[in-house]
Amino acid sequence: MKKVIALFAFGSVFLAGCPKHEIIPAPTPKVELESSFIGIVNGSQLELTQNVDGYYLDVTKTKFIQPSPTPSLATYYANMKSPNTLVSIRVGLGSLQFDGSANSDPSLSVFNNFFTTMTTPTYEANAYNGFEVVYRDGSGNVWKSDPASTPQDVVFTGIVQESDGSGDYSKFTCTFNCNVYRKIPDLSTPTPLDDSVTLTLPIENAVLKGWFKR
């Protein structure tokens, strides 16, 4: 009986002393997303950098779902903004066509093809079938690009599609030059609310690095 008890005690100590092997899951792939803006706005250099002064890239989209066979439309926006200041700049690009009756979002191949083919879009209001710039100044005034304005240009380069567990992304560098505009009441007339004056603000040598999300 003593031998059995001793053997049992030895076995218990041996088992207690065995280390437990921790199972470490494989690392989850994560897309590296970096954003910044630099350009000359109204004659002064403006630089907005991710994680500096609270700046980050707010990516959104609008969709207009149509019954088949009419194609549905999607427009994508990338807005460099901060909760700490009113100054922001947003670029928009549209309109991607897809079958909204089959899926609420375009397929990954359609998403990729749209951005690799829309590298030199024309300027359009609300980025409908084209490109738009929206700038908000330090007073909160909103300025928008105008399709009729000349000269203006835009080009998307460095387009790379990457995916991770949080979504599918089209990374880009957007370089553009344009004027942006806003209207104010014309106080020189008897009916200033009915008449307006258009103010102009130039944006030159602008480069926004960011991404759109499917």
Residue 100 located in a structural domain:
yes
- Pairing type for strands 44-49 and 85-98 reads unpaired
6, pLDDT greater than 50: no
User: For tokens 């083919």, what's the residue?
Assistant: 117
Residue 42 located in a structural domain:
yes
Query: Span 120-147, mean pLDDT?
Result: 98
Amino acid at 180: V
Query: Span 90-108, mean pLDDT?
Result: 96
Domain that holds residue 108: 32-213
174, pLDDT greater than 80: yes
12, pLDDT greater than 80: no
Among the residues of the chain, which ranges form H helices? 2-17, 108-117
Question: Which of 4-18, 37-51, 129-143 shows the lowest mean pLDDT across its residues?
Answer: 4-18
How far is residue 82's CA from residue 85's CA, in Å, rounded to a whole number? Answer: 6
- Would you list the DSSP string of 120-181? SPPB-GGGTTSEEEEEE-TT--EEEE-TT-SS-EEEEEEEEEEEETTEEEEEEEEEEEEEEE
Query: Span 60-71, mean pLDDT?
Result: 95
Amino acid at 105: D
Largest CA distance in the chain: 114
Question: What is residue 18's predicted lDDT score, i.e. its pLDDT?
Answer: 53
pLDDT digits (tens, 9 = 90+) for 26-56: 677 899 999 999 999 999 999 999 999 999 9
17, pLDDT greater than 70: no
How far is residue 152's CA from residue 33's CA, in Å, rounded to a whole number? Answer: 28
Question: What is residue 9's predicted lDDT score, i.e. its pLDDT?
Answer: 42
4, pLDDT greater than 60: no
Query: Span 52-74, mean pLDDT?
Result: 96
How far is residue 148's CA from residue 125's CA, in Å, rounded to a whole number? Answer: 10
Amino acid at 28: T
How far is residue 156's CA from residue 121's CA, in Å, rounded to a whole number? Answer: 9
Rounded CA Rg of the chain: 27
Residue 91 located in a structural domain:
yes
Residue 11 located in a structural domain:
no
Residue 14 located in a structural domain:
no
Percent of the chain predicted with pLDDT > 90: 79
**pTM value?**
0.85
- Secondary structure (3-state) at 213: strand
Query: Span 81-99, mean pLDDT?
Result: 98
Residue 8 located in a structural domain:
no
Number of separate domains in the chain: 1
How high does pLDDT run on average in the chain? 90
Question: What is residue 3's predicted lDDT score, i.e. its pLDDT?
Answer: 44
1, pLDDT greater than 90: no
Question: What is residue 49's predicted lDDT score, i.e. its pLDDT?
Answer: 98
Contact 92, 75 (CB under 8 A): yes
Contact 154, 124 (CB under 8 A): no
Question: What is residue 29's predicted lDDT score, i.e. its pLDDT?
Answer: 83
Residue 168 located in a structural domain:
yes
Distance of CA 29 to the CA centre of its chain: 20
Q: Which of 155, 170, 161, 153 is nearest to 59 (CA)?
A: 170
| Tokens linked to 135 | 């700038």
pLDDT digits (tens, 9 = 90+) for 180-199: 999 998 887 777 667 789 99
Residue 12 located in a structural domain:
no
